[in-house]
Amino acid sequence: MAASLRLGRQGILFGLRLSSTFDRCVWATHPCQENVRHFFRSPWILGVSPVKVEMPALSPTMAEGSIVKWLKKEGEAVAAGDALCEIETDKAVVTMESNEDGIMAKILMEEGSRNVPLGTLIALMVDEGQDWKQVEIPPLDAAPPPAAAAAPVTPPVAHSPVPPPKPAISGPLRLSPAARNILDSHGVDPKLAIPTGPRGLITKEDALNLLKTHPVPKATPAMAAPTAPSSAPTPAAARPPPGSRPNIPPLSVPGKPGAPGTFTEIPASNVRRVIAQRLTQSKTTIPHAYASVDCDMAAVMHLRKDLAKEQIKVSVNDFIIKAAAVTLKEMPEVNVTWSGDGPRALNSVHISIAVATDKGLITPIIKDAADKGVQEISANAKALAQKARDGKLLPEEYQGGSFSISNLGMFGISGFSAVINPPQACILAVGTSRSELRLCEDDQTLSTQQLMTVTLSSDGRLVDDELASRFLDKFRGNLEKPQRMALA
């Protein structure tokens, strides 16, 4: 028994040695196998795994962006914090920075690409030391194959002509302007409509119902059939009835004078689209209330002259910003915004000022304006206005304002009403100053006053008429006596 166990163990050990010896002989006879394995594992065959660069959200309200300029080229080294490209957001042109080190391998969205949604792949990077030319480009969504390539072409079936419907009315027609426009633009006989208006009037609803029941047939291309040449003249195309208008005006050609009724497509920038959305949101969801008051600017004008003698240059708008900020600090019930759950009181006074740019109105913010002097407000306003015109505002410089001021006095506008910038509760519209004769109640004498009209647009859900009146009265007191603002 012991002898058999010893022989079995020796047999197993001999088999293991024989197997290892055979493997060494096989590899010795095929020295290129390791090289082949390394070749198929190399990045040249498999491609270099990329680092994806996607369109980022550079502002809380940004939904899409446009690539203005690439600051890095393909094959160029990139360090963390380097500027990759300039992106136009809904408010300004912001520089996008890299979060990782690597090499710019492939730019997928060229300069000038507009309306790129968030999360869209715009470029690819590779790690340092990798071959950027062998970057693996992710597959794009393939377009569906055309159905015409698979389906056999069948000749159209000739249908019997459908008899035209009989007119519904035979007497004189009475159409509303909207119904006449709809029927004329679609080329439908108005006699087919069933009038439901008073005294047989065809209304807009009647015209729409007629289009549903009798849709305009679309012209289908017929197969050309060999016909004998005919010498009969071709009838002229049917002309539209006199007085009718084309459904869509023709597009004008750039560089050529436009014919009457033509138009030119103007692409809207991101800023213009966001302004349109917010204005529509403001006028449809916020109940606007308006109140105006005249302010005597004599004391402000006199103080400006005194400061100019000391080489301190400030504008009237700087005093208006200061007066509004101080008034908001004195009346915190006006320094509120509207959220989805209701009013929200703000702890800081941040004044938004409207700045006109080539792309539209931008509202940079002067933060903590109540705690700043008029000279500091003036310096901040000038710097922010220049950055807004250059498109270099940062998101924190135009978001989070609690109160807006729009001044059109420099354009000669005597008074106007501004639209509230949601979610703010108020906006102050400032007109130009003018000289008027006023009767002094104390001694019944006439005196010349330098008056300026301001109009407060307020959200009726937050600031009612009584609160808006008290705010304007206190604002006028602060503006007519500038020394009060230093003591407030």
Between residues 125 and 214, the one the model is more confident about? 125
Q: What is the percent of the chain with per-residue pLDDT over 90, rounded to a whole number?
A: 39
Quick: pLDDT tens for 392-428.
888 888 888 889 999 999 899 999 999 999 999 999 9
The C-alpha atoms of residue 53 and residue 126 are separated, in whole angstroms, by 11
What is the arithmetic mean of pLDDT over 42-67?
76
Model confidence at 347, in pLDDT bands (50, 70, 90)?
Answer: very high
The C-alpha atoms of residue 54 and residue 67 are separated, in whole angstroms, by 12
Residue closest to 292 by CA, chosen among 407, 426, 411, 428: 428
Residue closest to 426 by CA, chosen among 384, 480, 486, 470: 470
- Strand-pairing partners, residue 411, are none
- Residue 250's pLDDT is 54
Sorted by sequence, the CB contacts under 8 Å of residue 84 that are 6+ apart come out as 53, 70, 71, 72, 78, 96, 97, 98, 104, 123
Between residues 120 and 250, the one the model is more confident about? 120
Report CA dihedral (101, 107, 111, 113) to the nearest 10 degrees.
Answer: -110
- Residue 163's pLDDT is 53
3-state secondary structure of 418: coil
- Residue 150's pLDDT is 40
Model confidence at 323, in pLDDT bands (50, 70, 90)?
Answer: very high
Model confidence at 257, in pLDDT bands (50, 70, 90)?
Answer: low
The C-alpha atoms of residue 488 and residue 28 are separated, in whole angstroms, by 94
What is the arithmetic mean of pLDDT over 50-57?
89
Whether the predicted pLDDT of 220 surpasses 90: no
Extract the tokens encoding 162: 């459908």
Residue closest to 353 by CA, chosen among 365, 361, 345, 341: 365
**Strands 365-366 vs 445-459: parallel, antiparallel or unpaired:** unpaired
- Residue 46's pLDDT is 52
What is the arithmetic mean of pLDDT over 226-253?
48
- Residue 313's pLDDT is 92
Sorted by sequence, the CB contacts under 8 Å of residue 290 that are 6+ apart come out as 417, 455, 456, 457, 458
Sign of CA dihedral 382, 388, 391, 392: positive
369: number of Cβ within 10 Å: 28
The C-alpha atoms of residue 65 and residue 87 are separated, in whole angstroms, by 6
Contact indicator for 405, 353 with CB cutoff of 8 Å: yes
Quickly tell me which residue has 């009584």 as its tokens.
Answer: 466
Extract the tokens encoding 139: 């597959």
Between residues 109 and 143, the one the model is more confident about? 109
Q: What is the pTM of this model?
A: 0.56
Q: What single-letter DSSP state applies at residue 274?
A: H
Quick: pLDDT tens for 267-321.
777 778 888 888 999 999 999 999 999 999 999 999 999 999 999 999 999 999 9
Q: Is 225 left (phi over 0), alpha (psi -120 to 50) or beta?
A: beta
What is the arithmetic mean of pLDDT over 259-274?
74
* Highest-confidence segment of 18-22, 99-103, 169-173: 99-103
Q: What is the DSSP string of 339-387?
A: ETTEEEE-SS--EEE-EEETTEEE--EETTGGGS-HHHHHHHHHHHHHH
Whether the predicted pLDDT of 458 surpasses 70: yes
185: number of Cβ within 10 Å: 14
Between residues 362 and 38, the one the model is more confident about? 362
Model confidence at 226, in pLDDT bands (50, 70, 90)?
Answer: very low
Average pLDDT for the chain? 78
Extract the tokens encoding 38: 């390394």
Residue closest to 135 by CA, chosen among 44, 37, 54, 39: 44
Helix (H) or strand (E) holding 70: strand 64-70
The C-alpha atoms of residue 352 and residue 366 are separated, in whole angstroms, by 6
Least confident of 152-161, 171-180, 396-405, 426-435: 152-161
What does residue 87 show for φ and ψ, rounded to 5 degrees?
-120, 130
What is the arithmetic mean of pLDDT over 416-441?
92
Contact indicator for 78, 71 with CB cutoff of 8 Å: no
Quick: pLDDT tens for 68-124.
999 999 999 999 889 999 998 877 788 888 888 999 999 999 998 888 888 899 999
